[in-house]
């Protein structure tokens, strides 16, 4: 039995030593190195489209919001001409719904005096105030039986996706480009 205890003690000591060495090396490497841009890029124009079909969260915050906010701020700060467009479709499209439609779509209890509403509405409005164009896919809207009043009035509307024709879609949803 003493042989096993010695072996176990050596194993535990080895793990602690290797962890301490690894941690120290990582801290030194991070402290000594800084990001250096070898070839800076000067943008004159940037047209960017975000294809948002799946909701990825960082905690409770949609991940793309931070990316779009940073991009809009940087392009503005650098005086770059162009536009940023975000096309919402699939299971991420409900972020664009007005409060009542959001509650119905997300199956929030109806008839209760307390309503949740769309918690992302103000974040989306903030992106639009920065000049980001927000679009809802017409095919997604038609598949969910959403009508023009469902997205907030500040949205430019629904547009064609997935090979739809430029026409009036189901339930009066306009899919004109």
What does the pLDDT look like over 22-81, one tens digit per residue? 555 455 555 668 888 888 888 899 999 999 999 899 998 999 999 999 999 999 999 999
Q: Is the pTM of this model over 0.75?
A: no
Do 74 and 160 lie in a common domain? Answer: yes
CB atoms within 10 A of CB 52: 25
Domain interval for residue 7:
1-36
Q: Give how many domains the chain has, as a whole number.
A: 2
Residues 17 and 52 in one domain: no
Residue 125 inside a domain? The answer is: yes
3-class secondary structure, 41: coil
Is position 108 within any domain? yes
Q: Are residues 8 and 58 in the same domain?
A: no
Give the span between the Cα atoms of 120 and 94, in whole angstroms.
10
Q: Does 177 have pLDDT greater than 80?
A: no
Sequence-ordered strand ranges (E) for the chain:
45-52, 57-58, 61-62, 81-88, 133-137, 158-159
How far is residue 118's CA from residue 95's CA, in Å, rounded to a whole number?
7
Whether residue 177 lies inside any domain: the answer is: no
Phi-psi region of 59 (alpha: psi -120 to 50; beta: other; left: phi over 0): left
The whole-angstrom separation of Cα 58 and Cα 62 is 6
């Amino acid at each position: 039995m003493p042989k096993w205890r010695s072996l176990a003690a050596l194993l535990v000591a080895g793990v602690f030593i290797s962890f301490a060495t690894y941690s120290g090396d990582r801290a030194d490497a991070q402290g000594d190195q800084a990001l250096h841009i070898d070839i800076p890029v000067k943008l004159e124009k940037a047209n960017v489209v975000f294809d948002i079909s799946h909701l990825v969260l960082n905690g409770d915050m949609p991940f793309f919001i931070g990316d779009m906010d940073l991009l809009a701020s940087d392009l503005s700060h650098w005086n770059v001409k162009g536009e940023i467009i975000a096309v919402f479709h699939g299971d991420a499209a409900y972020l664009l719904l007005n409060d009542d439609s959001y509650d119905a779509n997300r199956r929030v209890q109806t008839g209760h005096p307390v309503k949740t509403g769309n918690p992302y509405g103000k974040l989306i409005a903030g992106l639009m105030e920065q000049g980001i164009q927000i679009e809802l896919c017409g095919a997604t809207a038609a598949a969910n039986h959403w009508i023009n009043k469902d997205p907030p009035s500040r949205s430019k509307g629904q547009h064609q996706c997935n090979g739809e024709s430029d026409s009036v879609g189901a339930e009066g949803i306009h899919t004109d480009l």
